[in-house]
Amino acid sequence: MAKIPIQPYSGYLNPRSNDDDPALTHVGAGTPGGEYLRRFWHPIAMVAELKDMPMPIRVLGEDLILFRDKSGRVGLVHKHCSHRGTSLEYGIIGERGIRCAYHGWAYDVDGTVLDTPSEPAGSRLKETVCQGAYRTHESHGLIFTYMGPPDQVPEFPVYDTTVWPDDTELVPLKLDLPCNWLQAHENAADPIHTAYLHSIVTGVQFTPSFAALPVLEFAETPLGLLAIATRRCGDNLWIRASDVILPNMAQFGTGFVDGEKEKFALTAAFTRWITPVDDTHCWYIGWRQFNPVIDPRNEGRKENIGRNRIDLMGQTDERPYLERQKSPGDWDAIVAQGPIVKRTHEHLSWTDKGVAMLRRQLRAGIREVQSGLVPAAPRNYGKGIVPTYNNETILSVPQKDGDDKSLLQSFGHKVCKVAIESAHLPVGERQRHVERAVRAMQASGEFYDGLSQAPGQQQEDANA
Ligand code: FES
Ligand SMILES: [Fe+2]
441 in a structural domain = yes
**How much distance in Å is there from the Cα of 65 to the middle of ligand 1?**
15
On whether both 138 and 170 belong to a single domain, the answer is no
> How far from chain centre, in Å, is Cα 267?
15
On whether both 268 and 304 belong to a single domain, the answer is yes
Alpha carbons 19 and 75: distance in angstroms, whole number:
37
233 in a structural domain = yes
On whether both 142 and 180 belong to a single domain, the answer is no
Alpha carbons 76 and 64: distance in angstroms, whole number:
7
On whether both 64 and 132 belong to a single domain, the answer is yes
Domain boundary pick from 107, 126, 152: 152
On whether both 185 and 257 belong to a single domain, the answer is yes
> How far from chain centre, in Å, is Cα 263?
24
**Amino acid letter, residue 90:** Y
On whether both 210 and 168 belong to a single domain, the answer is yes
Q: Are 386 and 157 in contact (CB under 8 A)?
A: yes
- Any bridge partners for residue 145, and if so which? 42, 136
Domain boundary pick from 135, 152, 169: 152
Phi/psi of residue 284, nearest 5 degrees: -90, 105
Q: Are 297 and 208 in contact (CB under 8 A)?
A: no
The CATH number given to whatever domain includes residue 100 is 2.102.10.10
- Any bridge partners for residue 286, and if so which? 173, 272
**How much distance in Å is there from the Cα of 115 to the middle of ligand 1?**
11
Kind plus residue range of the DSSP H or E element containing 212: none
Alpha carbons 208 and 199: distance in angstroms, whole number:
7
On whether both 121 and 166 belong to a single domain, the answer is no
Residue 50 pLDDT: 98
Q: Count Cβ neighbours within 10 Å for each residue of 20-51 and write b for 16 or more, e otherwise.
A: bbeebbbbeeebbbbbbbbbbbbbbbbeebbe
Alpha carbons 59 and 42: distance in angstroms, whole number:
9
**How much distance in Å is there from the Cα of 37 to the middle of ligand 1?**
31
Which atom in ligand 1 lies closest to the alpha carbon of residue 88?
2
Measured from the CB, is residue 102 less than 6 Å from ligand 1? yes
**Amino acid letter, residue 261:** K
Measured from the CB, is residue 118 less than 6 Å from ligand 1? no
Residue 452 pLDDT: 58
**How much distance in Å is there from the Cα of 35 to the middle of ligand 1?**
29
Phi/psi of residue 385, nearest 5 degrees: -70, 130
362 in a structural domain = yes
Q: Are 100 and 117 in contact (CB under 8 A)?
A: no
User: Closest by alpha carbon to 131, among 77, 90, 56?
Assistant: 77
Q: Count Cβ neighbours within 10 Å for each residue of 165-194 and write b for 16 or more, e otherwise.
A: beebebbbbbbbbebbbbbbbbbbbbbbeb
Domain boundary pick from 152, 183, 201: 152
User: The whole model's pTM is what?
Assistant: 0.94
Which atom in ligand 1 lies closest to the alpha carbon of residue 116?
3
SS (HEC) of 71-127: CCCEEEEECECCCCCCEHHHCEECCCCEECCCCCCEECCCCEEEECCCCCCCCCHHH
* Number of structural domains the chain divides into: 2
Boundaries of domain holding 181: 158-374+382-453
On whether both 128 and 170 belong to a single domain, the answer is no
Measured from the CB, is residue 86 less than 6 Å from ligand 1? yes
90 in a structural domain = yes
Measured from the CB, is residue 87 less than 6 Å from ligand 1? no
On whether both 77 and 138 belong to a single domain, the answer is yes
For a ligand 1 pocket test, name from 65, 81, 123 the mutation site with the most ligand atoms within 8 angstroms of its C-beta: 81
Residue nearest to atom 3 of ligand 1 (CA): 103
pLDDT in tens, the chain (464 residues): 556 678 888 888 876 677 889 999 999 999 999 999 999 999 999 999 999 999 999 999 999 999 999 999 999 999 999 999 999 999 999 999 999 999 999 999 999 999 999 999 999 999 999 999 999 999 999 999 999 999 999 999 999 999 999 999 999 999 999 999 999 999 999 999 999 999 999 999 999 999 999 999 999 999 999 999 999 999 999 999 999 999 999 999 999 888 889 999 999 999 999 999 999 999 999 999 999 999 999 999 999 999 999 999 999 999 999 999 999 999 999 999 999 998 888 999 999 999 999 999 999 999 999 999 989 876 666 678 999 999 999 999 999 987 899 999 999 999 999 999 999 999 889 999 999 999 999 999 999 987 754 444 444 444 43
On whether both 48 and 120 belong to a single domain, the answer is yes
Contacts (Cβ under 8 Å, ≥6 apart) of 30: none
Q: Are 107 and 129 in contact (CB under 8 A)?
A: no
463 in a structural domain = no
462 in a structural domain = no
SS (HEC) of 312-347: CCCCCCCCCHHHHHHCCCHHHHHHCCCCCCCHHHCC
Contacts (Cβ under 8 Å, ≥6 apart) of 90: 54, 100, 101, 102
On whether both 363 and 434 belong to a single domain, the answer is yes
> How far from chain centre, in Å, is Cα 111?
29
The ligand with the least distance to the CA atom of 113 is 1
Contacts (Cβ under 8 Å, ≥6 apart) of 239: 228, 229, 230, 391, 392, 393, 394, 411, 412, 415, 416
434 in a structural domain = yes
On whether both 184 and 229 belong to a single domain, the answer is yes
Give the C-alpha distances (Å, rounded to integers) separating 160 from 163, 287, 428: 5, 13, 9
Task: For residue 311, give the 3-state DSSP assignment.
Answer: coil
- Any bridge partners for residue 62, and if so which? 59
Residue 450 pLDDT: 77
